[in-house]
Copies of this chain bind each other. A is one copy, B any other.
Amino acid sequence: MSGAIVLLSGGLDSSTTLGIADQEYEDLYALTFQYGQRHDKEIECARKLAEHYSVEEHKVLDIPLLEIGRSSLLKKGEKIPEHGDDEIGEDIPSTYVPARNIILLSYGLCYGESVDAEAIFIGANARDYSGYPDCRPAFYETFEKMSEVGTKSGVEGSPLEIRYPLIDMKKSEIVEKAHSIGVPLKLTWSCYKGGEKACGECDSCKLRLKGFEEAGLEDPIEYE
């Protein structure tokens, strides 16, 4: 029996990543983070996805990122996009949240060592969003090297592998992949707003809809 941790926000990318991990690993452990601004809707989607994939355990952690992380993004009442969700550019976007993916992966390491997992999956994507330093393969490689030296499993020769299977995919390719492996896309949530239906207008909705359109597939969620 082999196990993997999957960082699961409930969005399209992390849900597809969960589906990919499910093909390779027997025991899945889903890890969802709340930092004050994530909508209940998204957490609820994460819970349903975890249930769909019959994960061994799904942990939803409240982490105090807002208390110390200052960014143009961290204003009260605004949802924090995932890195890579929203902006496309060469510079580091203003929506960069200091060390966010480093913190999330660190919890992944803690959880992974605790349940004797072999890998941590993250749905990061660098293709269109090279501006985020923590969404690039080079970062994940150095994070893995760090954990080889700084964790028990690493020192003992069985470091947790950091897996980022979507890193080079376009949104349409992610949609295609999700579709091909049966990810229940109707359970995923991308909209920045927390309404009953997705707004279809925010950057995240637009990116998602464009991905479905380019993939020639219909988005199964409801829009206003």
Contacts and interface: CB of A to CB of B under 8 A. Distances in A.
Interface residues of A, number: 48
A109 B138 CA distance: 18
Interface string A59-74: 1011111011111000
Among A59, A114, A150, residue most surrounded by chain B Cβ atoms (within 10 Å): A150
A138 B134 contact: no
A152 interface: yes
Interface string A132-153: 0110101100110111111110
A70 B152 contact: no
Given A64-B62, A103-B106, A107-B103, A133 B150 contact: yes
A140 to B, nearest CB: 8
A62 B160 CA distance: 26
B99 A106 contact: yes
B152 A101 contact: no
Interface string A151-176: 11011100000000000000000000
A37 B142 CA distance: 32
16 contacts: A59-B67, A61-B67, A68-B111, A98-B112, A99-B109, A99-B147, A102-B109, A102-B146, A102-B150, A103-B103, A134-B150, A136-B149, A139-B146, A142-B146, A142-B148, A142-B150
Contact of A146 (B67, B103, B145): B145
A119 interface: no
* A-B residue pairs, 9 tightest by C-beta: A98-B113, A70-B114, A139-B150, A99-B109, A99-B110, A68-B111, A146-B146, A142-B146, A103-B106
A69 B156 CA distance: 18
B102 A152 contact: no
Contacts of A64: 61-63, 107
A31 B151 CA distance: 22
Contact of A149 (B31, B107, B133): B133
B110 A98 contact: yes
Nearest to A109: B99
A115 interface: yes
